[in-house]
C-alpha cells in the first residue's frame, strides 16, 4: 500500500515558468511533510517542509501548499531554472506533536526537466 503517491513520473517546463509538483497521501496520521531534491549519484537534499498546522510555507522560489482535507500537497517553483532539473521526492511522517523520531515515507519521485 503506497501511503505517499506522486502520480506524475515526469514533468517538463520551460525556463522562467512555474513548475508544480504534486503529492497525495492516504495516512491521516501524517502531519509533517517534506520535499527533497535528488541529483544523479547524490543523496536526497532537503528542500522545504510544512507542518499540518499550516497550509503554506515559502522559501525563496519554492512554496509548498498543503490541503489537509484533500490529503494533497504541492511544490511550486517560480521561476523555474535549468539547475532545478532533478528528481523531486515528497515525504511524510507522523510527528505526533514533536515526539516522533521522523521515520519518513517517500513517494516514488517526479523527474523535473527545465528547458532553457
Partner 1 sequence: GAGVSQSPRYKVAKRGQDVALRCDPISGHVSLFWYQQALGQGPEFLTYFQNEAQLDKSGLPSDRFFAERPEGSVSTLKIQRTQQEDSAVYLCASSAHTEAFFGQGTRLTVV
Cβ of residue 81: shortest distance to partner 1, in angstroms? 23
Max Cα distance, the chain (Å): 44
* Cell numbers linked to 13: 517546463
If residue 18 lies in a helix (H) or strand (E), which one and from where to where?
A: none
Residue 105 lies near partner 1 (rule: CB under 8 A): yes
Residue 44 lies near partner 1 (rule: CB under 8 A): yes
Residue 91 lies near partner 1 (rule: CB under 8 A): yes
Residue length, the chain? 116
Residues that bind partner 1 (CB under 8 A): 4, 6, 32, 34, 36, 41-46, 49, 89, 91, 95, 98, 101-109
Amino acid at each position: 500500500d503506497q501511503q505517499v503517491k506522486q502520480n506524475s513520473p515526469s514533468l517538463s517546463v520551460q525556463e522562467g515558468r512555474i513548475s508544480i509538483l504534486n503529492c497525495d497521501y492516504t495516512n491521516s496520521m501524517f502531519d509533517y511533510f517534506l520535499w527533497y531534491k535528488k541529483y544523479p549519484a547524490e543523496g536526497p537534499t532537503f528542500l522545504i517542509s510544512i507542518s499540518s498546522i499550516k497550509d503554506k510555507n515559502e522559501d525563496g522560489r519554492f512554496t509548498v501548499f498543503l490541503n489537509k482535507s484533500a490529503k494533497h500537497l504541492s511544490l511550486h517553483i517560480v521561476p523555474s531554472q535549468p539547475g532545478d532539473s532533478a528528481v523531486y521526492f515528497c515525504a511524510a511522517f507522523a510527528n505526533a506533536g514533536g515526539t516522533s523520531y521522523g521515520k519518513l515515507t517517500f513517494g516514488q519521485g517526479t523527474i523535473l526537466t527545465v528547458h532553457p
